[in-house]
Amino acid sequence: MIDISMLKFDENGLIPAIVVDAETGAVLMLAYMNAESLQISIDEGRTCFWSRSRRELWRKGGTSGNIQHIVAINADCDKDALTVTVRKEGPACHTGAESCFFEKLYGGKQEGEHKGTVPFSLDILYDIITDRKTNRKPGSYTTYLFEKGVDKMLKKIGEESTEVIIAGKAGDKAETIYEIADLAYHVMVLMAETGIRPEDVRKELESRHVVDNKVKQEKMI
């Protein structure tokens, strides 16, 4: 492990920091840090950068709420650039996009890409759903659910849960995947309606150590 003093900051005392999504591996943004903002990032466990335009420190998400929790920081072999791996709350780009890197310059759509931007993820699906909540697109099924409200969402979740049970019981893998996807979608619509983010669910699961410990005890009659 190296020390901050070993890094090669440029003539303005800055070093480029490439922010990477810990879940998807997608490049989220490029920003700059000085020694002070880097130390703040390490101490607080969330990204803090130096704004070259405003010439001041800025903590990512300080006003937008789109905080980036740091998983790891690595320097390159020349020690003049950083990668900052994060778990994010909300989009990285000020435009509302998941990543700042969405303008295609060269090359076709890669396998796993979503609309030529970053790999598809549940976070991207959630952001699309929340956009439909704000910008109601006529003819959209998601818009229809938001217009009908929570009772309709809960009814659909119940129906899709039953479909998962039926498919799982039948041992039909493809159908089970299909129905789980339907269930996940409807649950995420409910999440968007009630202000629950995917990150909230991840934190809850992490706090439970759910893989090895039973969370809720079944009632023994």
Q: pLDDT tens for residues 45-70? A: 999 999 998 899 999 998 888 999 99
Provide mean pLDDT across the span 185-198: 94
pLDDT band at 218 (very low <50, low <70, confident <90, very high): low
* CA–CA gap between residue 146 and residue 156 (Å, rounded): 12
Percentage of residues in the chain having pLDDT higher than 70: 88
Token pair of 58 as six digits? 């800025």
Q: Which residues of 173-191 are buried (b: 16+ CB within 10 A; e: fewer)?
A: eeebeebbebbebbbbbbb
Angle at 56 between CA 53 and CA 57, to 5 degrees: 120
**pLDDT over threshold 60, residue 210:** no
User: β-strand 48-51 against 56-59: which pairing, if any?
Assistant: antiparallel
pTM of the complete model:
0.52
- For residue 165, the 8-state DSSP code is H
Question: Which distant-in-sequence residues (6+ apart) come within 8 Å of 26 by Cβ?
Answer: 20, 98, 99, 118, 119
- For residue 67, the 8-state DSSP code is -
Q: Which residue, among 188, 217, 218, has the nearest Cα to 201 in the 3D structure?
A: 188
Exposure on the CB side of residue 183, measured as CA atoms within 13 A: 16
Q: Which residue, among 9, 79, 14, has the nearest Cα to 51 in the 3D structure?
A: 14
Helices then strands, each counted (H, E), the chain: 6, 6
Q: What is the pLDDT of residue 70?
A: 92
Instruction: Point out which residues pair with 27 in neighbouring strands.
Output: 20
Q: What is the pLDDT of residue 115?
A: 43
Q: What is the pLDDT of residue 12?
A: 94
| Structural domains in the chain plus CATH codes | 4-88 (3.10.20.810), 122-208 (1.10.287.1080)
pLDDT digits (tens, 9 = 90+) for 81-92: 999 999 888 889
User: How many C-beta atoms surround the C-beta of residue 60 within 10 A?
Assistant: 24
pLDDT digits (tens, 9 = 90+) for 110-167: 444 444 444 567 877 888 888 888 888 888 899 999 999 999 999 999 999 999 999 9
Q: What is the pLDDT of residue 114?
A: 44
Question: Which distant-in-sequence residues (6+ apart) come within 8 Å of 131 by Cβ?
Answer: 96
* CA–CA gap between residue 65 and residue 20 (Å, rounded): 18
